[in-house]
């Protein structure tokens, strides 16, 4: 579903970077710690850690060779390195890190409970574990909510593909419960909202033609006539500012907890 950073960044990567910075500050980790960025993607969380947390080291990992290559190419910092690995089987020893985090990943993992348990395993006792996912369940990720509302109005079969239906983890209560089941203490969940303003309709629509992610993958299956109908329904439905820009918001749910001990 996710292959290259070049397609991901204009779609949601630009908003993820804003959320990542607020998330890293919210984690409240001490300086000079050892971090693990699970499902690092294009490196948004790693960049935020390097910019804001004064880490000793950050190891980012992702199962996508394209994403790992993109992160290596765009992040030149001796404190960071990137490896190919799976969130359900982290290639780190027990208690080998101080902080383990994951941005916009856990809903795509086949077994999120396994991934959360792995993140808890690799941090030392007293270490921090954190994650964030887009608010798909309550509609706070307006970029994606607007798309699926339009798609479902034109195609009843699209309702089954709606990310709010497919990813029930992406809501406040399920995310907190995931960390509690992983055995973490002092679990907190909070919302992080950032503005997502598009210069014009093309700025909004073009990333959906990249065929990566659930919504762009759906667009790629449509014949031209149906794709055009979806485009025009979105064009008429999205809000417009006086300058022609499209003012939306992107909200994520963030969760953090501490390994007992």
Q: Which CATH class is domain 5-258?
A: alpha beta
pTM metric for this prediction: 0.92
Cβ neighbours for 228, distance < 8 A, ≥ 6 positions apart: none
Report the chain's mean pLDDT, rounded to a whole number: 94
- Say what the pLDDT of residue 9 is: 63
pLDDT in tens, 30-55: 999 999 999 999 899 999 999 999 99
Tokens 């992983």 sit at which residue? 182
Give the model confidence (pLDDT) of 151-164 as tens digits: 999 999 999 999 99
Please check whether residue 70 is in contact with residue 5, taking contact to mean a CB–CB distance below 8 angstroms.
yes
Separation CA 39–CA 219 (nearest Å): 25
And the tokens for 256? 């953090």
CA distance linking residue 144 with residue 168, whole number of Å: 15
Domains of the chain, by residue range, sit at 5-258
User: Can you say whether residue 186 is alpha, beta or left, with left for phi > 0 and alpha for psi between -120 and 50 degrees?
Assistant: left
Which percentage of the chain shows pLDDT scores above 70?
A: 95
| pLDDT tens profile 112-156 | 999 999 999 999 999 999 999 999 988 899 999 999 999 999 999
Instruction: Report d(CA 38, CA 122) in Å as an integer.
Output: 11
Please compute the mean of the pLDDT values over residues 170-196 and round it to a whole number. Answer: 97
H-helix or E-strand spanning residue 37: strand 34-38
Structure tokens that stand for 147 in this block: 């798309």
Mean pLDDT across the stretch 92-117?
97
């Amino acid at each position: 579903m996710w292959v290259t950073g070049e397609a991901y960044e204009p779609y949601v990567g630009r908003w993820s970077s804003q959320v990542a910075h607020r998330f890293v500050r919210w984690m409240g980790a001490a300086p000079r710690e050892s971090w693990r960025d699970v499902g690092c993607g294009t490196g948004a969380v790693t960049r935020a850690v390097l910019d804001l947390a004064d880490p000793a080291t950050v190891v980012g990992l992702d199962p996508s060779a394209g994403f790992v290559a993109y992160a290596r190419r765009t992040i030149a910092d001796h404190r960071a390195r990137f490896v190919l690995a799976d969130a359900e089987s982290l290639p780190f020893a027990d208690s080998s890190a101080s902080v383990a985090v994951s941005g916009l990943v856990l809903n795509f993992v086949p077994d999120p409970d396994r991934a959360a348990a792995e993140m808890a395993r690799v941090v030392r006792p007293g270490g921090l574990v954190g994650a964030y996912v887009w608010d798909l369940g309550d509609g706070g990720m307006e970029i994606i909510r607007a798309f699926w509302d339009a798609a479902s109005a034109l195609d009843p079969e699209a309702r089954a593909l709606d990310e709010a239906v497919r990813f029930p983890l992406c809501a406040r209560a399920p995310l907190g419960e995931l960390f509690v089941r992983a055995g973490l203490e002092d679990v907190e969940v909070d919302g992080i909202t950032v503005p997502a303003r598009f210069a014009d309709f093309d700025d909004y629509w073009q990333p959906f033609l990249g065929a990566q992610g659930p919504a762009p993958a759906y667009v790629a299956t449509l014949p031209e006539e149906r794709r055009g109908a979806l485009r025009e329904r979105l064009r008429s439905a999205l809000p417009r500012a006086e300058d022609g820009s499209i003012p939306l918001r992107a909200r994520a749910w963030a969760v953090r907890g501490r390994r007992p001990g």
